[in-house]
Amino acid sequence: MIPFGTRLRTAMDTRGPLCVGIDPHTSLLKDWGLDDDIAGLERFTRTAVEALADRVAVLKPQSAFFERFGSRGIAVLEKAVEEARAAGALVLMDAKRGDIGSTMGAYAQTFLTPGSPLFSDALTVSPYLGFGSLRPALDAAAASGAGVFVLALTSNPEGAEVQRATTADGRSLAQSMLDRMAGENAEARPLGSVGAVVGATLADAGVDLAINGPLLAPGIGAQGATPADLPRVFGDAVGNVLPSVSRGVLRYGPDIAGLRSAAERYVDETRVAIGA
């Protein structure tokens, strides 16, 4: 299979650098005039996929908002993954899985192994049980042409107490993780398949982001960051940034034209900001 990094670079160059989250939480369902039940979930998800999957580079369903409905919610998620990929979007499953040994291997089978109903183009993972704990996911992704996005410097303020902590060699824990990602991507061209999650809301990343991989940047829109902030946060690595927007686009639903127009605005603003 063509590696995820290669496919993502092509998608960003042709469709524009934007990831739109599909986050069907209670308040958004209400804003769309939908009930907070399986019918509302299905309508919300189907509309978002119909509006965006044939034009944005990446769709990022947040697994938790589907899991809360049990097996019926997972069935909606499976259908969304299938339909989004069929329409040409790359699907990044936002599940933030992190565990050890056979458990991490089971997560890899769920999200990163072809034939699974939830097989996705990429998966968010947490490295804070040790970067080595991600090996089952990294290996499964490499075997299937998928990718992983590893939490590095997240947009939530609480993350700093762990991610900015100093290791024995003087590096921050986040920098230690980024350096391991760079090692995974060392020989990849044009872009590695191991990405980092780095919040666009950070005043200054304060780390070396040259990992030769994509940089998922949550925090655009409702959390207060804008595309204009990206060069300041990401510096020379800004060309590999994939901004992630959820409510900033989804609040224009359920009108399909409104969703598409909002996504197009973010793509245009990002291209201007990064000089693409």
Give domain 4-274's CATH architecture. Alpha-Beta Barrel (3.20)
The kind and range of the H/E element at 272 are: helix 256-274
What's the pLDDT at 223? 83
Please say if 96 is a catalytic residue: yes
Torsion angles phi and psi, residue 219, rounded to 5: 110, -5
Q: What is the pLDDT of residues 129-180, one digit of tens each?
A: 999 999 999 999 999 999 999 999 998 889 989 999 999 999 999 999 999 9
Q: What is the pLDDT of residues 23-46, one digit of tens each?
A: 999 999 999 999 999 999 999 999
The kind and range of the H/E element at 90 are: strand 90-97
Tokens 């160059």 locate to: 13
- Other beta carbons less than 10 A from residue 102's beta carbon: 8
Rounded Cα distance, 67 and 121, in Å: 19
Length of the chain equals: 276
What's the pLDDT at 222? 78
Domain boundaries of the chain, sorted by first residue:
4-274
Q: What is the pLDDT of residues 84-118, one digit of tens each?
A: 999 999 999 999 999 999 999 999 999 999 999 99
Helix axes 71-86, 38-52, angle to 10 degrees: 10
Q: What is the pLDDT of residues 195-231, one digit of tens each?
A: 999 999 988 788 999 999 999 999 998 788 899 999 9
Tokens 């020379």 locate to: 236
What's the pLDDT at 195? 98
